[in-house]
Amino acid sequence: MEEKNISIKCSSKEHEKLDAISYCQQCNINMCNKCDNYHKNLCQFHTSYNINKNKNDIFNEYCTEKGHNNKIEYFCGNHNQLCCDSCIIKIKNKEKGQHKDCNIFLLREIKDSKKNKLKENIYYLEELLNNIEEKINQFRINMDKINEEKEELKLKIQKIFTKIRNVINDREEKLLLDVDKHFNEIYFNENIINEVKKLPNKIKISLQKGKEIELEWNDENKLGLCINGCINIENNIKNACELNDSLKKCGNENNNKIDFYPKEENEINKFLESINSFGNIFNKSHLIIDSKIINKNEEYIKNIKNWINKEKIITTKLLYRKTDNGDSYDTFHQLCDNKGPTLILIKGTEDFIIGGYTPLSWDSNSGWKKDNETFLFSLTNNKVFSKNIKDKNNDCSIYCSNTYGAYFCCLGFKPKNNMSKGSFSSGCSYYINLNNIIPNNKNYFFVDEVEVYKINFN
């Protein structure tokens, strides 16, 4: 039955036009705001209900339907609701008889069944209360643990960045000392500057001394003194020449200019970008991969993880990158052989990204290998190619040889001309529309970048 909005008035004759806000179970009265205040002071131990908030708890033995001023004596089994005479009588086109076609019982007829149901509900509520309290306690424990992990993670990040800041500060201090060192080596240091400032006066003194010695040269009694003066002048001249050479070196500064690298704005910005992208907060259930090819593309990472294993936590370790390690097969095998499961990402020159996964280990001489999990995929077109496809001639998944790099036999994909070119052979038991992998329906492509990752399942 649709609930009606009923305006309940105060039971006091003095306030009978005012809306009631509460009901007292013991007094069986509805009270307006004024009456409620008096009632709380006079009857502190009575049970009162807020009419707007506790409608279902209020029971005064009279029907609350509009126009039904009868005492409640019946129970409607269809609606699980108490009702009065007016609720069950059959009067057409009147606001009566809402339960006229329902299964109606006298209150005493449902007494035992409701009592039994009450016992069941009490037991259920006790179980529910215990269950909820246990969950709340576990929730608190989990929240304490989560907050502890959060603070530990923050502390870890702070320690890492404090270490980075210390290294940057130390590097700055060293570079500033290197500036002084280089300028001193190429030009002159402060001691030389101070000596150069004194040089004119020293020359004047030596010149004056030389003239005095020249006048006293024929005095036999002063011969030793004169020769000693000559030696001092010779040493002064030598020192003056060295300082003069330092002045010439300074004058030739354009040929020995000292500068700082990097000095280009874009190179400095690259370094700042690497700092800005350093570190990542991640959910441990995600695949962690630091790839230049997919560059933290969340959709690509999610697809790769789901294709390999959506349930297990996966981490990766970079084994090989073409632009860092070169494109020779020998280097590929040196870095990638006997590493267990690997993920290969390949970026073509025509801006498409493909890749492959195998749980098998690469090596240099075992030849054909097969399993049921190796597969290729196209991230550009969001397609994965069946893990069970086999080459019709060799029934294999990968081919291991020192004359090939990452050779996936399952779709006939193999590298050519070292790691700088790749191709798809046509000898596959499963026809591949190459437009699903590379554009323009070519069976070969040139490679911008190749990355090989070791896969760890935690």
Rounded Cα gap, residues 60 and 46, in angstroms: 14
Output the pLDDT for position 123.
92
Q: Classify residue 327 as exposed, middle or buried by CB count within 10 Å of its CB (0-12, 13-18, 19+).
A: middle
Q: What stretches of 50-110 show up as alpha helix (H) in DSSP?
A: 85-88
Within 10 angstroms of residue 298's Cβ, the number of other Cβ atoms is 9
**Helix, strand, coil shares, percent, the chain, to 5:** 45, 20, 35
Residues 237-270 have pLDDT tens digits of 888 887 777 666 655 555 567 788 887 888 888 7
Ranges of the chain whose pLDDT falls below 70: 1-6, 53-60, 64, 90-96, 186-192, 246-256, 280-288, 313, 386-395, 410-445, 458
- Cβ-contact 385, 376 below 8 angstroms: yes
Question: 18: closest CA among 4, 38, 33?
Answer: 33
Q: To the nearest 10°, report the CA torsion of 195, 201, 207, 209.
A: -100
Question: 420: closest CA among 293, 292, 291, 327?
Answer: 327
Lookup: tokens for 211: 């003239």
Output the pLDDT for position 390.
44
Sequence ranges of the domains in the chain: 13-113, 120-183, 187-256, 286-457
Judged by phi (left if over 0) then psi (alpha if -120 to 50, else beta), residue 28 lies in left
What angle do helix axes 190-216 and 223-251 make, rounded to 10 degrees? 150
pTM: 0.42
Question: 188: closest CA among 247, 110, 256, 261?
Answer: 247
Alpha carbon 393 to its chain's center: 45
Output the pLDDT for position 392.
45
Q: Is 171 helix (H, G, I), strand (E, B) or coil?
A: helix
Question: 11: closest CA among 53, 44, 58, 73?
Answer: 58
- Cβ-contact 49, 58 below 8 angstroms: yes
Output the pLDDT for position 179.
87
Detail the DSSP E strand segments found in 248-394. 314-321, 342-348, 353-358, 367-369, 375-378, 383-385
